[in-house]
Structures are given as structure tokens and as C-alpha cells.
Amino acid sequence: MAKPERGLGRGLDALFSVEESIDEKLVAEIEMKLIRPRKNQPRKNFDPERLQELAESIKERGVLQPILLRPREKGYEIVAGERRWRASKMAGLKMIPALVREMSDAEVAEISLIENLQRDDLSIIEEALAYKNMIEEFDYRQDVLSQKIGKSRVHISNTMRLLSLPQEVISLLENKQLTPGHARALLRLDSDSAQIKAARRIAEGKLSVRKAEQIIRFDQKEARPAQNNTAEEMDLQERLQKHLGSKVEIKRRRQGGSIEITYYDHEDLERILEIMGLK
């Protein structure tokens, strides 16, 4: 299957011609007090220490890269560069260099998401919420979003599935007591209570992802009704779950049997079909 075009995933340079990107005449000095952050900015958390470090750098060298703004009523809205704007405020700047362009809400959402993804500035939950917002607010299909931002549809779908975890588990993930690998493993458990119980154990024991997967497999077996599956069938079931990223059950009957694959929603089903080579 051919890889999707990267679209705006090539970066912010895709918005401007080469001449524009180096033409200082297009950079304006904008009053800090006229600028406001975007309400639906994907990034919600800013590390205070890193902001202070950037503020000290700005005091010494100034703002080396203009921020990107669009005109709004009584001022401007940040499209890209909120961290530089925040650090500039901390540094006591009254003006900041900026590129100002008219853009649609969808373009602004795409650019803001891409900037953060390229700089690894988003937590996995912030990333998942950004994808969800793009799909719900701008009616994007996952394959369209994939082309826009240069991420695979499978990655987008798997990331969004983390939002189905209980809030307590999401909080542990946001506080870095769990990793995305831990969270994906927890999705194999059927109930919120089982996921919370396993997440607490992983966080308290500071378990590796591999160890977490082992206890989750054990919890699955404990919760599963007794079946006459052979060791080979159980091993195949585990391998299918790991390959598809979804719960899989092999059910034996007197003659033959069935394989049951659980999916989260229609987009998740599309993801599974793509992995199976059926799309």
C-alpha cells in the first residue's frame, strides 16, 4: 500500500514560499498585549523550567524565530509559537516578531497540531484529544487527517483509543506514572475496574511495559470463563491481540470454532482491516 502524502506534515515551511520564509519585510513587531493564545491549542501543559530557560535565552538573544498569528477582533490569535510568546512575556518583552496571515479554523488547527507533533511537545493524551477535535470539529476522516499531518491512520486510531481508558488511568499517564506502552497494554482488559487495578499496580511497582503485559495477560486469563483452548490456541490468541492491538478470543466448539475480534468504533474497524490487508 502506498504511503499517504505528507501534506502539511512537511512542516510550517509548507505554508510559505521560500522567498516569504526569509523575507524580513513580512515580519512585523506586534504588541504582546494584542496577542492571545488559541482556546483549542493542542498543548495544555508548559514545563515551567523549560519556559524559564527560554525566557533567559530571549533576554540575551531576543526571539530568533517569529511566531505565527492570524488577525482576530481587537488583536491577534496565536497559530504557532505559544511557548515563545509565553517565554517572551516572562522576559518582559513588550513587542514580539510575528508573521501575520489570514487562515481558516481548519488550517489553524492543522498547523498548530503539526508544530507540536514535530517538536514532540504533546503528551500522548494531548495528541489523542487533538486528533479527536480535528475529526469532530472539522469532520475529517482518519485517512484524510493522516494525509494532512503525515501520521499513519493506524497511529491516529491507536492513539485515540487511549481516550477510552478510565480517567484515573489517563491521569497516571499524564503524570508520567504510566507510559503510552503501558496504556496500550491496559486496553486489552475488558472493564474499567480491571484497567484501574492493573494501572495502579504498574505505577506503584514502576513496572516495565514487558512486565505489565505479563500481569495483564494473567488478569485476562483469570477473568476469562474456562475454555478448553489448547496452549497453542492460547498462544495464537495472544499473538493476534498483539498484532491487531485489539482484544481477540478464539472460541472452540466440538467441530471447528470461531475467532472474535473486538473493535472500538467504525474507524477502529477500518484500522484492523488495514492491518489485515483488507483495505
Query: Any idea which residues carry the catalytic annotation?
Result: 82
What cell does 137 get?
Answer: 470539529
Q: What are phi and psi of 260, to 5 degrees?
A: -110, 125
Burial class (CB in 10 A: 0-12, 13-18, 19+), 246: buried
Q: What are phi and psi of 80, to 5 degrees?
A: -150, 135
